Chain A
Amino acid sequence: MTNLSDFTPNEMMTIAAARVLSNDDVCFVGIGAPSAACNVARLTHAPDITLIYESGTIGTAPNVLPLSIGDGELCETAVTTVSVPEMFRYWLQGGRISIGFLGAAQLDRFGNINTTVIGDYHKPKVRLPGGGGAPEIATSCRQVFITMKQATRGMVEKIDFYTSFGHGEGGNHRERLGITTKGPTLLITDLAIWKPDPETKEFTVVSMHRGVTRDRVQETCGWKVRFSDSLEETPPPSELELTTLRELQARTERAHGGKKGK
């Protein structure tokens, strides 16, 4: 039996992210929490959602979570697999993707993301992997959802590098750069759900997960947090959601843990 009172903040984050996806969405999926959320959605309320990974797999339905964006199962279960130039030109740049799902190493209050360097670009304190598909995912998908665990080192006043553009300095900054898509419209963390203010575009907490306090949200965030006047509590995971996520993770563990190594 699934113990419903015993879910972790990470499980809540993944399930809250899964809930916002629908059957009609065409979703560009990143590895990690976004991938888990998209597949929980597909295995619960959104069986017809189209999941796309940047390796070229379109309409994929993996039985376990991929370890990389190019695992073989993504291709085996996809409706079609296209080349990487086609993926970025026809499908992403062509405007076919409704939701881009991104994670972040550093995030600011306007949804700008850094996954490139900590410190100066030319003399980095830490060289991170870089943007991959993110710079164009952030501007070509109709909207962007971000998911990350809250921590002051991740949610910062000022990011060290603009890997991908959110709302810039806020307001209509995207429009001023000629970007016609909505950008980040949702931030889902292990503690709360955030939405941008319609005018300033600053992320505002609209819902806190069960048991989370305003102080806890503020302590784990590097900027002064704004809370919505109509703050809600995120409904806790249902038995179906939690069981689906846990079974998916157990299958994933078995599949990736059993392979031989050198």
Chain B
Amino acid sequence: MAKLQSLKEAVAENLRDGDTVAFEGFTHLIPHAAAHEVIRQGIKDLTLIRMTPDIIYDQMIGMGLVKKVIFSYAGNPGVGLLRRMRDAIENSWPRAIETIEHSHAAMANAYEAGASGLPCAVFRGYRGAGLKEVNPAIRSITCPFTGEELAAVPAHRPDVAVIHAQKANRRGDVLVEGIIGVQKEAVLASKRSVVTVEEIVDDFDDLHPNLCVLPHWTITSIAHVPGGAHPSYTHGYYDRDNAAYLEWDKISADRELFTAWMKENVLEAGPEVFAARVKGL
């Protein structure tokens, strides 16, 4: 049953040192506020799963909280490279990280397999691809009916999924709309889930019947954090802050600048600052 609680409580109750955590959101609905709360609470030795590690993983890696990243595209979308993640991979700063790299198709299939309760995902992929040579988790399986050789990867089964969504109702049902990414699969694949929302409403009576709704009994904790996806966006609420993504390229280029920025904007801030950040977007 979903508990409505503060972000601080939701993170403290659900995430532990050493956990495997999937923060999802495909460009849209990226749970920035929740990631910042994890950084403030200093939850460490995390294995992070995410299709597109972007600014939030750059920040968590740069703060030394991460031991392993499982991913399929590590870039600042529309801007370039992830400089903190690169610094960790290339120079072990502030610590070495292990990386397990997949394609988007493999990651999406692995979440779906996790949500489906399967041990692995089977798909037609990785043919001729170099990742097969460097990632021992990429194997193959032969179709028992046609003999076709297909790719197999282990299902994702995170300890915790963390997502941001448009709204929850009082019972704790959660609505996700727009570019829905892999959020539903990530929540259903995980043992626990933390959801931040823009808005809490009385009921969902006016919704179209086929919208993506995660029933309250699939969610562990919900926190009301308006603007909680910034500088990502929430469809129907505010646009993407493209300038902030461009600026991150500069902030993350320098270790000292990064450390100072994190202190001012994350360590010494709280989830309430996000509402002001999306005003005018």
Contact = CB atoms under 8 A, between A and B. Distances in A.
Interface centre among A74, A84, A259 (most CB of B within 10 A): A84
Interface string B227-262: 000010101000111111111000000000000000
B124 A93 contact: yes
Given A56-B179, A127-B86, A178-B149, A161 B130 contact: yes
A177 B127 CA distance: 7
Nearest to A163: B130
B201 interface: no
A132 B72 CA distance: 5
Nearest to B279: A260
Contacts of B109: 85, 88-89
B180 A56 contact: yes
A165 interface: yes
Contacts of A177: 127-128
Nearest to B251: A262
Given A68-B240, A72-B233, A72-B235, A56 B181 contact: yes
A134 to B, nearest CB: 7
Contacts of B124: 93, 136, 139-140
Contacts of B235: 72, 75
B104 A84 contact: yes
B53 to A, nearest CB: 9
A107 to B, nearest CB: 14
A198 interface: no
The interface residues of chain A, by DSSP majority, are classed as loop
A218 to B, nearest CB: 28
A254 interface: no
Nearest to B104: A133
A242 to B, nearest CB: 24
Nearest to B232: A70
A56 B25 CA distance: 12
Contacts of A75: 28, 178-179, 235
Contacts, number: 193
Nearest to B110: A85
Contact of B128 (A57, A139, A161): A139
A103 to B, nearest CB: 12
B77 A135 contact: no
Given A83-B184, A133-B104, A262-B277, A70 B26 contact: yes
A55 B127 contact: no
A130 interface: yes
B184 to A, nearest CB: 7
B243 A260 contact: yes
B137 interface: no
B140 to A, nearest CB: 11
Contacts of A261: 241, 243-244, 246-247
Interface string A61-103: 0000011111110110000010111011100110000000000
A143 interface: no
Report the 3 A-B pairs with minimum CB-CB distance, sorted nearest first: A70-B27, A165-B128, A261-B243
Interface of A: 31, 54-57, 66-72, 74-75, 81, 83-85, 87-89, 92-93, 116, 121-122, 124, 126-136, 138-140, 161-165, 168, 173-174, 177-179, 256, 259-262
7 contacts: A56-B180, A67-B242, A81-B180, A88-B108, A93-B124, A132-B75, A136-B124
